[in-house]
C-alpha cells in the first residue's frame, strides 16, 4: 500500500497482487505456468493532471493480470520456448465525476494488452541468446484513444529484441 504525489496531486493508491507458478517435474509438452492478478483502488483529488484536472478519483479501481507459458528443452535440450499475455493496470471502475469530465461513458475501454514470444538458444553452458517479439496494444488505454493526445490513433507498438546472457 502506498500513496504518490504528482505535480501537486494528492492521490493515494492502495494495491494488492497475487502471483503463482507451477512447473512440471519433467520437461515435455506440458509447459511451466506463471500467472498473476492485481487490483488497485484510488482516493484523493487531482489538481494538475493534464487530462483530468480537479477530479476526485475516490472510488476508481484498476486491475492487472498475466499468464506465461514456458516449454523447457523445446526442440533441443537446454533451449526454451515461451509466450506471455496480460494487461498492465487497466481502469475497471471510474467515479461518476471522472466519467462525466472525461467523456468516458459508463465503461472504461482500457485495452492495453501485452503479448510476448521468445525462444532461448543455449549456445554453450555459459552463453544463451534469446530473441523475442512483443506487441503492446492501446498502451495509453482509453485516455490515449481518440483524444487530443493521439488524434484518432491507438498507441500500439510491435517490436523485437535479442538478449544475450553470459554466466561467469
| Whole-prediction pTM | 0.74
Q: Where are the alpha helices (DSSP H) in the chain?
A: 96-102
- Would you call 19 exposed, middle or buried from its count of C-beta atoms within 10 A (0-12, 13-18, 19+)? exposed
Cα–Cα dist 166/127, whole Å = 5
Q: pLDDT tens digits for 23-40?
A: 999 888 899 999 999 999
Confidence of residue 20 (pLDDT cuts 50, 70, 90): very high
Give Dmax (Cα) for the chain. Answer: 59
CA distances (Å), 48 to each of 3, 10, 66, 111, 118, in order? 16, 10, 32, 25, 40
Amino acid at each position: 500500500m502506498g500513496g504518490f504525489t504528482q505535480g501537486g496531486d494528492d492521490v493515494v493508491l492502495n494495491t494488492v497482487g497475487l502471483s503463482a507458478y507451477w512447473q512440471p517435474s519433467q520437461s515435455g509438452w506440458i509447459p511451466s505456468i506463471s500467472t498473476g492478478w492485481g487490483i488497485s483502488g484510488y482516493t484523493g483529488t487531482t489538481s494538475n493532471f493534464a487530462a483530468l484536472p480537479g477530479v476526485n478519483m475516490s472510488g476508481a479501481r484498476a486491475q492487472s493480470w498475466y499468464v506465461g507459458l514456458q516449454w523447457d528443452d523445446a526442440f533441443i535440450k537446454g533451449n526454451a520456448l515461451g509466450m506471455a499475455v496480460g494487461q498492465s493496470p487497466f481502469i475497471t471502475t471510474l467515479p461518476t465525476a471522472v466519467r462525466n469530465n472525461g467523456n468516458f461513458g459508463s465503461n472504461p475501454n482500457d485495452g492495453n494488452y501485452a503479448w510476448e514470444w521468445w525462444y532461448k538458444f543455449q549456445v554453450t553452458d555459459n552463453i544463451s541468446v534469446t530473441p523475442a517479439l512483443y506487441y503492446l496494444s492501446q498502451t495509453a488505454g482509453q485516455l490515449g484513444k481518440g483524444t487530443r493526445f493521439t488524434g484518432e490513433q491507438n498507441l500500439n507498438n510491435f517490436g523485437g529484441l535479442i538478449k544475450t546472457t553470459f554466466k561467469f
